[in-house]
Amino acid sequence: MNPVQKANWYIESFLSSELSLERIARASCVTPFHLTRAFGQATGRSVMKFVRQRRLTVAAHRLASGGRTVMEIALDAQYLSHEAFSRAFREQFGVTPDHVRRQGTTKGLQLTEACIMSESNRQVSAPRMIDHPEMLMAGIVRSYSYESSAAIPAQWNEFNEMETSVAGFVGDAAYGVIYNDDSEGNFQYLTAMEVQNYDGVGERYARLRIPARRYAVFSSDVHVSGLKAVMHDIWSNWLPGSGHAVADAPMLEVYGSSFNPQTGMGGFEIWLPLAS
């Protein structure tokens, strides 16, 4: 059972109890940082947002079935007041708990049911290990959550259309850099090229200095649409049994000269930062 499966089991088992990212990660035998990325890659959600959505979904079913007071259902969902519960319920479903109670049905609500996670097919082979010097990146940066990350290809289109005649670009690889993750599944994504220095970099380019670090480098020749499956395999299958610890540092997608942004073919690499 991989960490995401363990997390799902623990969440469903203790949904009416006090849950935290730290507690769920401990039950999944990984760090909170590891679980945040693994869960996000596998489900497209942050761990704690999924917990909140599941609790409110269970609450909606209970409201529709009747028999218990709204406050009792709110307490089971870990809300200490009717007002806080009603506000969160309306934000998720667009209607109040009292409305669902009166209607006696959850029809029309966008519910979040329990995830059924099967073992992912192996997408990666054993990585090579590299020690890479410091890199200076220049490009476009945007903020995302795992729920909004479907917009990343549009960022690549914008980046590919930008003027690339900046002096000092190093090589011909393009980089997708994931960094500044938080426990809610928010992160920044930089589409970039490496530069020798920032002397010739214009103001419209975001800048990121990536310190020297050891990486596990995974090569894949699948279509770029398979990137999520590759990431899921790395975080959920390879990393837990590898004996390595992941660093809280930028992770890189590397698209070399063989990659064709028009077709999505040509292969790519994932550079996973290692703590040891």
pLDDT per residue as tens digits for the range 15-26: 988 999 999 999
Q: Where are the beta strands (DSSP E) in the chain?
A: 128-132, 135-145, 174-179, 186-195, 206-210, 213-220, 251-255, 268-273
Chain segment 167-224, per-residue pLDDT in tens: 667 888 999 999 999 988 899 999 999 999 988 788 888 999 999 999 999 999 988 9
Has residue 164 got a pLDDT over 60? Answer: no
Cβ(202)–Cβ(139) under 8 Å?
no
Cα 139 from Cα 162, distance rounded (Å) = 9
AA letter at 2: N
Domain with CATH 1.10.10.60 in the chain: 3-103
**pLDDT band (50, 70, 90) for residue 161:** confident
Higher pLDDT, 253 or 121: 253
Phi then psi dihedrals of residue 175, to 5 deg: -125, 135
Distance set, CA 229 to CA 32, 85, 175 (Å):
21, 36, 19
Cα 46 from Cα 174, distance rounded (Å) = 27
Has residue 163 got a pLDDT over 70? Answer: no
Tell me the pTM.
0.77
**pLDDT band (50, 70, 90) for residue 99:** very high
Percent of the chain with pLDDT over 90: 62
Has residue 128 got a pLDDT over 90? Answer: yes
Has residue 276 got a pLDDT over 80? Answer: no
Higher pLDDT, 262 or 163: 262
Chain segment 227-256, per-residue pLDDT in tens: 988 998 999 889 988 999 999 999 999 999
Cα 181 from Cα 33, distance rounded (Å) = 8
Has residue 54 got a pLDDT over 90? Answer: yes
Instruction: Indicate the pairing of strand 186-195 with strand 128-132.
Output: unpaired
Domain with CATH 3.20.80.10 in the chain: 128-273
Q: What is the mean pLDDT of residues 87-106?
A: 94
User: Which residue matches tokens 């469903």?
Assistant: 12
Helix (H) or strand (E) holding 159: helix 152-161
Q: Classify domain 3-103 by CATH architecture.
A: Orthogonal Bundle (1.10)
Cα 183 from Cα 229, distance rounded (Å) = 22
Residue 32 has what pLDDT?
93
Q: What is the mean pLDDT of residues 4-19?
A: 89
Average pLDDT taken over every residue of the chain: 90
Closest among 176, 190, 59 to 112, alpha carbons compared: 59
Chain segment 70-93, per-residue pLDDT in tens: 999 999 999 999 999 999 999 999
Residue 261 has what pLDDT?
86
Residue 68 has what pLDDT?
86
Percent of the chain with pLDDT over 70: 94
Q: Which residues pair with 186 in a beta bridge?
A: 145
Cα 164 from Cα 86, distance rounded (Å) = 51
Residue 50 has what pLDDT?
94
Residue 42 has what pLDDT?
85
Residue 110 has what pLDDT?
92
Q: What's the distance, CA 8 to chain centroid?
A: 15
Cβ(159)–Cβ(140) under 8 Å?
yes
Domain 128-273 class, CATH top level: alpha beta
Report residue 29 as tokens: 């035998």
